[in-house]
Structure 1
C-alpha cells in the first residue's frame, strides 16, 4: 500500500527538476499476456526486464507511480565498488573466499553499469573516479594499511598521494593523504534509470506507469 508521502518524495528532487520526462502513458487496462511480469520500474526491475528481453522473453513491467520515482531516481548517484562497512565483516562471517565473491559482485555490478551506459548511449552525467581521504597522520597510516591489504587480497588498486601531492586531487589543506581509484564514480540516477527504460522499450518491453499490482494469484 502506498502512503501519500510515497508519491511526493520526488517532487523537490534535484534529479526530477533536471530531466524532461516523456508524457505519462496510459495505465494498464484489461487483460495482457506475457512470459514474465516485472513489478516495479526501478533499477532492479528495469535491469531484469532488459536481461529477460535480451534472452527472448516477452516482458511487461508494472509501476505504481512513474519510472524510477522511488529510491532509484533520487539516491546519491554514487556507483562505488565494495561495501560501506568494508570487507572485514564479510571475512568474519563468511570467510575470505566468500568475502571475495561478494566483492567481485560489486565490481561486476559497476562493469554492467558501464556496459549499459555505452551500449544504450545513456547520457547520465557519468564521471569515473573516487577519492579516499585522511585528515590526520593516524588515519593516513590506517588508510594506507587497509588499501595495501585490499590490493593484496582483492586486487583493488589505488593511487596513493601524501602531503603536497594530495592537492592534485583536492584543493584543501585539511587532508594529508588521499587514495584515488578509477573503478567507481558518480552518475545522475534518474537519467540513468530513464535510459534503462528507453533501452528496455527498444527491446520490446512494455512499461505501464500508474499501474499498481493489487494481487498475485498462483495458477
Structure 2
C-alpha cells in the first residue's frame, strides 16, 4: 500500500514527535466517521468526543498533510468575505448570527492549546498592513464593522506606529488585532490529534476514503477496510478529490506558495518584527509573513488556480520578500513548499448535509485556520440536534463555477488578474 509522506516543508522538518498510526485494515463501527484529519476533521472529532460520541477519523495521508499543516500559520479573524458583504447578501438576521461567530475560531484554538497543552509556538497579535490610502480607509471601516459585533481588541496604526511593529517602508498604516496571532500549524494539528486519541478517538492514516455507501447506515470504504457509522463528516477540503461529486462541482483547489529562511538570529529577527506579530497586507492577492519559534521568516503569497505545483517556488516568493525586506538580500532560503486551499465562487465556506446523515464543511477560500475550528464546533452541534448556527452557514447561497470544471480555472485566474491589476494601480 502506498505511503504518502509530508511535503518537504519547514513544518514537517520541525514537527513534534508523533506515534505511528496504522492504516485501516478491518471493518469497524462507530458513531461518527470523519473523513480528513486536518483542522475541520480534528476540531469536529474533539467536540464530538467531548460530548460522548464514538469517533473514527480516516486520513488519506498523515495528520495535517493538507492545508492544515502547510499554511502560513496565521490566526486571522472573520471570513474571506467580511460580515458586511454577508449582510448585503443574506440580510441582518442571518448576518448577525454569522457575525457573532466570526471571532470564535481564534478563541477555540487558544482554548485547545491551553486545555491539551499543545506545543505550537502560539503568539498573540496580527497586523493588517495598508499599502495605499484606500486600503487604510478600508481598515478604518473594518474596525468599525468588527466593533459592531463586539470585537474590540483592535488598534489603528498610522505610518509612524506601523514602523514600530514592522520594518517595512511600503506601508502607509495598518490595523493591529491582538486576538489575532500565529502558530506552528502542523504542530497544532498534531496536538489536536493527540487530544482526539486521549479521549478515545481513533485515527487511521494512509487510509483514503474511496467510496461512500449512502443510506440509513452509511459506510465509508477505504482500500483495505470500511467504517459503518451513524453519521459521516466530510472534511477533506482541497484534498477531497471527486469523492463527493456535488461538492467538487462548487469549489476549486488553489495552490499557495511559502518559503522559510534560514534562522536569522535574535537581533535581525527583532529588527524586522519587534513585537513578533504576524503580518498580511491588504492586497487582493496578498502577501503574509511571520517569525517562527527559532527565528526564521516564513513568507507566503501568490495563488496558482487549479492547484498545480510551480517549478520554482523560491523564484516566485523571494522577490516578494525582498520587496518588503530588502535587508534580507543575502539570507538563504532553507525551505520552499506549496499547499492547496479550496476556493468557492462566493469566497464563503460551504456547509451542509447530504441526506440525513452526511455533513460537510469546505471552501474556506484562504481563511481557514480560525474558521475550521469554528466549523468543527458547529458541525458537532448539528449532530447533537442544535442546528441554528449550522443553518446560518448552510443557508448561505452558493453557485457552481461558470463553465463547470473545464472553465473554472481560467475564469478564476482572469478575475484574479483583474484584481491584481487593481492592487498594482492602487484603485
Fold match by TM threshold 0.5: yes
1:54 is aligned to 2:50: yes
Whole-angstrom distance in 1 between the partners of 2:196 and 2:158? 45
Q: 1 CA distance for matches of 2:169 and 2:35? A: 49
Stretch of structure 1 that moved more, 107-116 or 82-91: 82-91
- CA distance in 2 between counterparts of 1:28 and 1:170 reads 48
1:156 is matched with: 151
Of 45-54 and 76-85, more deviation after overlay is shown by 76-85
Comparing 153-162 and 176-185, the one that deviates more? 153-162
**Distance of aligned partners of 1:155 and 1:30 in 2 relative to their CA distance in 1, 3 Å threshold:** closer
- How many matched pairs? 213
Partners of 2:84 and 2:145 within 8 A in 1: no
- In 1, Cα distance between the equivalents of 2:132 and 2:25? 61
Match in the other structure for 2:210: 214
Mapped contact 2:16–2:187 kept (Cα < 8 A): no
RMSD: 2.4
Q: Please list the CA deviations of residues 129-149 of structure 1 after superposition, one character each: whole Å capped at 9, or x if unmatched.
A: 111223344543443344234
Deviations 1:96-150 (A, max 9, x none): 3322322322211111111101100111111111112233445434433442344
How far apart are residue 80 of structure 1 and its match?
A: 0.8
C-alpha spacing 1:162/1:25, structure 2 compared with 1 (3 Å): closer
Gap regions ≥5 residues in structure 2:
218-427
The runs of at least 4 aligned residues of structure 1 exceeding 6 Å deviation read none
Does the residue aligned with 2:30 lie in a helix, a strand or coil? coil
Matches within 5 A, 1:1-219: 7=4, 10-151=6-147, 153-157=148-152, 158-217=154-213, 218=215, 219=217
For the residues of structure 2 that align with 1:20 and 1:82, how far apart are their CA atoms?
29
Paired with 1:116 and 1:29, the residues of 2 have a C-alpha distance of 31
- Between Structure 1 and Structure 2, which shows a larger proportion of helix residues? 1
TM-score (norm 2): 0.46
Cα deviation for residue 86 of structure 1 reads 2.9
Bigger relative contact order, structure 1 or 2 (CA pairs below 8 A, ≥6 apart): 1
C-alpha deviation, 1:173, in angstroms: 3.5
Structure 1: 5+ residue stretches without partners:
none
Question: TM-score w.r.t. structure 1 length?
Answer: 0.85
Higher strand share: 2
